[in-house]
Amino acid sequence: MLIDLFPPTVLHALDIAGIFVFAISGALLAVRKNFDVFGIMVLAGATATGGGLIRDLIIGAVPPAAFTDLGYLVTPVVAAVLVMFLHPEVERINRAVGVFDAAGLGLFCVVGTTKAFEYGLGLPFAAVLGVVTAAGGGVVRDVLANEVPSLLRWDREIYAVPAIVGASMCALLIQADALNPVTSALSAATAFVLRLCAIRYGWRAPRAWHRRSATAEEP
């Protein structure tokens, strides 16, 4: 087993913060889609805990953390209620929400990789589950909202790539027996900064070489 990189209370607080921000993004999409209160809460919860739930089921960490900690249930509900009543104000600080979302992405890709490795997965597969932890909730959100997942769309800033980089750095540090609070924070910060740069400069992943399709971009 790996050493505990952070005190449990600190890690739990960071986890809840990431869940809250992801829940905000899910609730905002639900409002834009004109969902009712139940739909808003479902989309908020799916976005917040979807990635971690998929990870825990794959590695056999059952019951999943989302069903053993009341904070994982209450936090998305609180976020959904806030957005339901204050969504115009939340929309106005959407840039700030994007920054916190990037922070959650960085944190979850490292936490997911570490937890998957602790449960016996090889490093390449642990890194894959790190990416799933970070980005899986967004995929579940978009599928439930009947949209093409954002991380699959060329016309959106890169999202999975920063998570891949952060999770890969974490896996390499584990391989080198160099994972500690400083290096794990560096992995998370790298994913965070890459995501912020993608938002700021509109970085997108390349498409197929010599692409000839005339299909219009989706709005």
Alpha-carbon span 44 to 210, nearest angstrom: 39
Tokens describing residue 24: 């905000």
Ordered DSSP codes for 131-199 = HHHHHHHHHHHHHHTTS--GGG-TTS---HHHHHHHHHHHHHHHHTT--SHHHHHHHHHHHHHHHHHHH
Task: Report pLDDT for 190.
Answer: 96
Q: Which helix (H) or strand (E) holds 89?
A: helix 70-92
pLDDT at residue number 2: 47
Smallest CA-to-CA distance from 66 within 125, 123, 140 is with: 140
Ranges of residues in the chain with a pLDDT under 50 are 1-3
Q: What are the DSSP calls for 29-63, one per residue?
A: HHHHTT--HHHHHHHHHHHHHHHHHHHHHHHT--S
Which of 133, 33, 49 shows the shortest CA–CA distance to 83?
33
How many Cβ atoms from other residues are within 10 Å of residue 132's Cβ? 26
Q: What pLDDT does residue 191 have? A: 96
User: What's the pLDDT at 3?
Assistant: 45
Cis amide leading into 149 (omega within 30): no
Q: Which residue has the tokens 């799933």?
A: 132
Looking at residue 81, its pLDDT comes to: 93
| CA separation for the pair 168, 165 (Å, rounded) | 5
